[in-house]
């Protein structure tokens, strides 16, 4: 994908273009520093040279993956901070040119140092929060057509990889179990890797229990990681996948799930709403599991009352969340309304190893109570 090359090129250009000119160094040293920045910007490409053919899931030691993720996070955060302070930088440069003997002489250099220092602190904090066990967040929604309230525990974007541990998955499962939900749903992006390298990290999911079952849909990373191998493996843990199909719950609610659009790139069926709701009465209360929130318009056309989605990781941090929202129909975290459909977008219960950082966007286990609407 061209974006996988343009994005690191942009990072490199911003950092080299704004950090290096003010340094009191000879040109050859500046070029040497720019060359040293290259592997930080092109982290994914560099790791893929040594970690095997899976671009998003290099088979490398966890310490190396965490170290590379921290360096990349510092690089990305420095870029954002440099761009945010660009107006101040231009003003300081204007004063420096007119009053070179004044304190403005080294102000831009100090501003750059502050941006790098802040990026170091924020990256460390972000990776710490990104690796924590998710907290439970409770939400209550009106749900027409059901006789009594019921609860749904929502997990999303676990992204098990060489960087995660079975202990974190087990702790997540314990928190879900303690909530005693009627139903557990998992919204895709279970993995980044193969069953051989990541199967152990997801083994505790076999302990998930709910009276109405544990149901799931695929995310885009299942297809990157070989869905044909993973779906039977995950099904063996007691997880039932809804691949463009639906099932009736004990209270008459229809629970449907659609495949992620990434399936089409691999020659597999993409999301098919007509097939998912085939034979379902139009008056039945409907819940949809769809990895991407951007499928909400189609859900609304099929009479879905509530759609549960992940994919966005809550945007991971301020500013970046605006870009993530723009790529997902304006939805990034929380509750949205599309037509007559409530769209609930989870922050995710894990974090992607490529950029495992959370700042103000904590991982979560959603515990959603769906209740009959209040009487008028």
Residue 376 has pLDDT above 60, yes or no: no
Q: Which residues partner with 150 through β-bridges? A: 370
Give every CB contact of residue 189 below 8 A, 6+ residues apart in sequence: 156, 157, 158, 159, 219, 220, 221, 222, 291, 310, 311, 348, 352
Angle (CA) 167-172-178 rounded to 5° is 125
Q: Give the pLDDT confidence of 192-231 residue by residue, as tens digits.
A: 999 998 999 999 999 999 999 999 999 999 999 999 999 9
Q: What does the DSSP assignment read for 101-129? A: TSGGGGHHHHHHHHHHHHHHHHHHHHHHH
CA atoms within 13 Å, Cβ hemisphere of 65? 21
- Do the beta carbons of residue 154 and residue 187 sit within 8 Å? yes
CA 300, CA 99: separation in Å to the nearest integer? Answer: 62
Phi, psi (deg, nearest 5) at residue 218: -85, 150
Instruction: Tell me the pLDDT of the chain averaged across its residues.
Output: 92
Q: What is the pLDDT of residue 275?
A: 96
pTM for this predicted structure = 0.92
pLDDT band for 283, please (50, 70, 90 cuts). Answer: confident
Q: What is the pLDDT of residue 375?
A: 47
Q: In what order do the strands lie in the sheet with 183-186?
A: 135-142, 364-371, 150-155, 183-186, 214-216, 240-241
Give every CB contact of residue 216 below 8 A, 6+ residues apart in sequence: 185, 186, 187, 188, 190, 234, 239, 240, 241, 242, 257, 289
CA 347, CA 315: separation in Å to the nearest integer? Answer: 8
Q: Give the pLDDT confidence of 131-142 residue by residue, as tens digits.
A: 999 999 999 999
Q: What is the pLDDT of residue 190?
A: 97
CA 120, CA 274: separation in Å to the nearest integer? Answer: 49
Q: How many residues does the chain have?
A: 376
Q: What are the extents of the domains in the chain? A: 3-129, 133-371
Residue 148 has pLDDT above 80, yes or no: yes
The CATH number of 133-371 is which of 3.60.21.10, 3.10.20.30, 1.10.10.10, 3.20.20.370?
Answer: 3.60.21.10
């Amino acid at each position: 994908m061209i974006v996988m090359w343009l994005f690191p090129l942009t990072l490199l250009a911003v950092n080299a273009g704004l950090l290096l000119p003010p340094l009191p160094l000879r040109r050859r040293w500046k070029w040497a520093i720019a060359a040293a920045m290259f592997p930080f910007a092109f982290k994914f490409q560099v790791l893929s040279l040594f970690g095997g053919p899976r671009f998003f899931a290099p088979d490398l030691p966890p310490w190396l993956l965490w170290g590379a993720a921290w360096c990349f996070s510092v690089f990305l955060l420095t870029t954002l901070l440099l761009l945010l302070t660009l107006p101040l930088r231009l003003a300081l440069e204007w004063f420096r040119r007119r009053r070179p003997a004044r304190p403005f002489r080294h102000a831009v250099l100090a501003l750059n140092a502050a941006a790098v220092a802040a990026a170091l602190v924020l990256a460390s904090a972000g990776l710490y929060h990104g690796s924590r066990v998710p907290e439970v967040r409770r939400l209550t929604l009106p749900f027409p057509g059901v006789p009594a309230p019921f609860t749904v525990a929502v997990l999303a974007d676990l992204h098990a990889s060489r960087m995660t541990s079975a202990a974190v998955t087990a702790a997540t499962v314990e928190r879900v179990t303690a909530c005693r939900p009627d139903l557990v749903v998992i919204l895709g992006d279970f993995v980044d890797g193969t069953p051989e390298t990541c199967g152990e990290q997801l083994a505790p999911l076999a302990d998930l229990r709910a009276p109405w079952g544990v149901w799931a849909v695929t995310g885009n990373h299942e297809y990157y990681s070989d869905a044909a191998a993973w779906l039977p493996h995950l099904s063996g843990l007691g997880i039932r996948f809804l691949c463009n199909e639906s099932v009736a719950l004990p209270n008459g609610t229809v629970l449907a799930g659609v495949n992620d659009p990434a399936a089409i790139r691999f020659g597999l069926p993409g999301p098919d709403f007509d097939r998912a709701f085939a034979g379902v009465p139009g008056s039945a209360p409907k819940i949809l599991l769809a990895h991407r929130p951007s499928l909400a318009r189609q859900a609304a056309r099929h009479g879905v009352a509530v759609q549960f989605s992940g994919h966005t990781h809550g945007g991971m941090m301020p500013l970046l969340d605006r870009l993530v929202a723009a790529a997902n129909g304006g939805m990034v975290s929380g509750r949205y309304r599309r037509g007559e459909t409530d769209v609930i977008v989870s922050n995710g219960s894990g974090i992607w190893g490529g950029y495992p950082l959370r700042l103000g966007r904590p991982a979560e286990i959603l515990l959603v109570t769906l209740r009959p609407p209040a009487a008028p």
